[in-house]
Amino acid sequence: MEIAEAYEVLSDPLRKERYDRFGTFDDVKQFEDNAERARSFYGFGGFGGFGFDESVFEYKYRMSYQQYQFKILEESNTKPYIVYIYSNYCQMCYRFHPQWKRVIADLEPLGYGIATVNGNREQNLMEKMRISHVPALVAIVEGRIIPMRIDSSFSDRSIVAFAQKVIPSYFMTKINSGVMLSRFVDQWKSSNKISVVIFGAAANPRIRYLLAAMKYSQFARFAYVSLSDSSDEVRILRESVDIKCVQCENILIYGDMEHEDAVDRLSISEAKKLTMEAIDEFIERNKVLTLPRLSSQELLDEVCPVSSRSPRHLCVILPVTSHSSEEEHVDAFRRYVKDTKSIWKSKKVNFSYIYVDKQKDWVKPFAEKRKGELKNEGRDLLIFWRTEYKKARFTWLEGAWTGHKETDDLIMNVVEQRKRLDETCTVGNINDEYGLSIFTRCSRAFWRMWEVVWFRVSNEETYMFLSAVGTLFMIMSVGWLFSYFSEKPSDIKKRKPKANDVADLTGDPTIASDWHPDDPNTKKKDGDNSKQISSGKSKWAVAMKPLIHELRAETYFGMIRLLKPGCRSMILLVDEENKDSLINKFSQYVYPLRNNKTFSFGFLIVPKNLDWFRKLLEHTLPTDGKPTPEPDVSQSMYKRLKLINHRHTIGTVLTLCGWKLYFSIYHPKHVELSRRNFIDTDEEPSSDDEASYRSDEFASMGEKKKLHRSSSQRGVNMENVLDGFPNWMDRLLEGSIRRYYIPEWPDNLK
C-alpha cells in the first residue's frame, strides 16, 4: 500500500508539489488527524463526526486520479461504473450512507462497477469529472461522464433506475416476430459474432442482461423477446423455438451453422435464480463461433491466448482473401472444424481464418518466412503458439488443407511435437475490421454532448438564467416593433443612407467594400472596368435602376420642361448595342448623388433621336445676323453638324437645366474653347481649319494646349469613354463647367 501510494504521489504533479513544499501531499491530512483525535477524545464516531463507517467509501471502492485515467475509463467500454463523490464534513453525505449501501448490494452482484471519490483528497479528479458540489452521483459509460441530479427526495431505487438507464440501448435489440429473429441470427457472417437471444417475462430487458450484453459486446450480439407480449407473432415465435413457460427466463445461443437450431440454451424458472455467474458461465462455453475470423485484437487474444509450455495452446489459421470465391474453402474448413471439434478441444487447439488483404501488416511477419512454393491442390495452414503477448513460434503447413483426412495427421504432428515450431516472429496488433465509422463516432459524440447540455439546461439555476435572457429578448423585440411601426414615412425618406445600402438592395454583402471613384478609402482593382462592362447588369445598375429613366417624347416634359428651379437632369447618350454596359458604369459614378433632390438621371437612345441632339447643338452656334470674328468658322460648324455620326456621340453626358435654358456637356473629345467646336464628324478636320484655330487671336495659351491634347485623344472606345466623367462631375458641382445657353429646348424627341 505504501509503495502504491508513493507512486500515486509521484505521478500527480500537484500532489508532488504539495509534498515538496509542506511535507504532505494532502492539504487536509493534518486537519483530519486533529479532528480524529478530537473525535476519539470526545467519543464521536468516524467519518467527519457523523458516526458512520468510512471504510465502505475509502478502501474497497476508492478511486484515485490514476485509476480513473488508466483503468476506469478503459473498462467503462464493457463495464459501466457508478461513482459517489462525498466529503468528510457533508451532512447530506451522512444521510445518504444507508441508501448507498443498498445500492452497492443491488448493483455489485450484477457486475456493475462501484467507485467512491473523497472530494477533499481528490480535488484534481473532481475538476476532471466537472463535479462542483458534494454529494454527487455520476455514471461512467464508454468513457463519458453522465451526472445524476441529487435532491432530498431521491432514493436507492431511483439510483438503480438511473444506473440501468445510462446503459446504451444499442447493446440490446428488441425482437417481436419470427422474421426479425431469422434476420438477426443470419447476421453472423457480417458481424463475425454469435447471436444471444433472451426470452424474458418482463416487458423490458433486466439490468443483468444489459450488463452481459455490454460485457460480451466484442464477441456476441444480444436480442430480447418479451414473453409478456400477447400478440400472435410473439406466440408463434415462442412456439418455433419450443418455449412453453411464459414466466421462465430462457437464453438461446446461435452459432455459424446455417439452418440449424440454437447451439445451446439455458432455462430458469425465476429471474431471481438467474445469477450473473450462471449467465457468464453459459456464454463463456459458446463465446466464439465454430470458425471465427481474426478481425479484432480481442478475438485474437481469445482464440490464440498466451500460454506456457504445459499446456501449450496452438492456433491453426487458414489464410484467405475477402473475395467471394474463397467462401467455399472457408465453409468446407468450418464443417471440418465442427466434425473434429471433440478431438482438438482436448488437445488445446483452436481454429480460425483470416483475411490477408485486410490484415496485411499482421500476416507479413509470418509470410516473409514461408519457404516453399504455392501449391494449386491445397491451401496453406499457419500454426503458431504465442509464447508471449508480442512473440510467437510458428510453422507453415504448405498445401495442408485439401479437405481430406491427411490434414489431421499434419496438424497432429505439430501437436505431438513430431514437427517443431522452428520459426519465431513478433506478433502485431489486429486491425479492428468492425471499428466504428466516422459518422457513428460523430453521432455518438453529438448525442453525448446533447445529454450534458440537457442536464445543465434542465437544472433549476439554468432555468432562472434562461428566463432572464428570454425576458430581456422579449423586451427588446417589443421595443423594436413599437419603434418600427411608429416611424413616419417621411422619417424613412430622410434617413441617412448607410454604407451597405447597395448590399441591401442587391443581396450581395460584398458590394459595400467595392471600389468607388468618390471614396478615397478604397482601392480600385485591376480589371474591374472590363468586368463590369462585360458582365451585364452590375450591382450599381440594380441599385440605380428605379432612378434612371429613358428620355423620349413621353418623358420629355417631366425630365426637362417642367423641372423646378435649381434642378438638373443628367442624360447619358447610348445606343442599343452599348446601352447596358454604359448604364452600368454611369450608375456607378452617379450613385453618390442618388439622394440629391436637385438631380434626376436618364439616358437617350441616340440613333432614333439624333435630330434632337443636332438641333440642341445648333442652338449653341452663332446666328447669321450676329457679327462673328470669323463667319467662315460658324458656317463650317453648321456643315459639320449635318454630317454628325451618332457613333461618335455615344458616351456623351448632358446636364440639362430646364428652368434656365442651359446645358453642360461631357465627352472625352470635348474641349471648352472659346472658338473651337467639340463635334466629331465623319470628316477629318482640314489643315486650314487647324491653322485657323491655332492662329486665332482670341484663343489663349491654355486653350491651345487643350486643343493639342484633344487632337491626340482619338483612341477613345466604349470601355474608357466614361473614365473622365467623375472628375467632370466634381467640377460640375463646383460650378466651373461651362454652360451653353439656348433660346429654347428642341421638341422633336421620338
Query: Which stretch of DSSP H or E encloses residue 382?
Result: strand 379-386
Calculate ∠ Cα 205-208-209, nearest 5°: 50
Tens digit of each residue's pLDDT (9 = 90 or more) over 330-380: 988 998 999 888 889 888 999 999 999 999 999 999 988 887 655 555 688
Q: How far apart are CA 292 and CA 334, in angstroms?
A: 9
Q: Is 0.75 surpassed by the pTM of this model?
A: no
Q: What's the whole-number average pLDDT of the chain? A: 78
> Strand pairing partners for 549?
602
- Above 80 in pLDDT, residue 198? yes
Amino acid, single-letter form, for residue 492: I
Q: Report CA torsion sign: 733, 720, 588, 615.
A: positive
What is the pLDDT, as a whole number, of residue 633?
Answer: 56
Query: Percent of the chain beyond pLDDT 70?
Result: 73
**Is residue 674 very low, low, confident or very high in pLDDT (cuts 50, 70, 90)?**
very low
Per DSSP, the residues of 257-270 read -TT---SEEEEESS
Which domains does the chain carry? Answer: 1-30 (no CATH), 56-166 (3.40.30.10), 169-285 (3.40.30.10), 297-426 (3.40.30.10), 539-622+637-671+719-734 (3.40.30.10)
Tens digit of each residue's pLDDT (9 = 90 or more) over 246-287: 889 999 999 987 777 888 999 888 877 888 999 999 999 999
What average pLDDT does the segment 713-738 reach?
80
- Above 60 in pLDDT, residue 303? yes
What is the pLDDT, as a whole number, of residue 371?
Answer: 77
**Within 552-680, where are the H helices?**
556, 579-590, 610-618, 631-642
Query: Which stretch of DSSP H or E encloses residue 398?
Result: strand 391-401
User: Which of 120-129, 524-533, 604-613 comes out lowest in average pLDDT?
Assistant: 524-533
Please state whether 84 falls in left (phi above 0), alpha (psi between -120 and 50) or beta.
beta
* Range with the largest mean pLDDT of 202-211, 573-582, 607-616, 658-667: 202-211
Q: How far apart are CA 725 and CA 475, in angstroms?
A: 51
- Above 80 in pLDDT, residue 529? no
Of 640, 723, 651, nearest in space to 679 by CA: 640
Q: How far apart are CA 603 and CA 668, in angstroms?
A: 18
> Strand pairing partners for 152?
none
Cell of 426: 513478433
- Above 50 in pLDDT, residue 712? no
Q: Report CA torsion sign: 52, 53, 54, 57.
A: negative
CB within 8 A of 470, min separation 6: which ones? none
Burial class of residue 332 in the structure, from the number of CB atoms within 10 Å of its CB (0-12 exposed, 13-18 middle, 19+ buried): middle
**Strand ranges across the sheet with 249-254:** 172-174, 220-226, 194-200, 249-254, 264-268
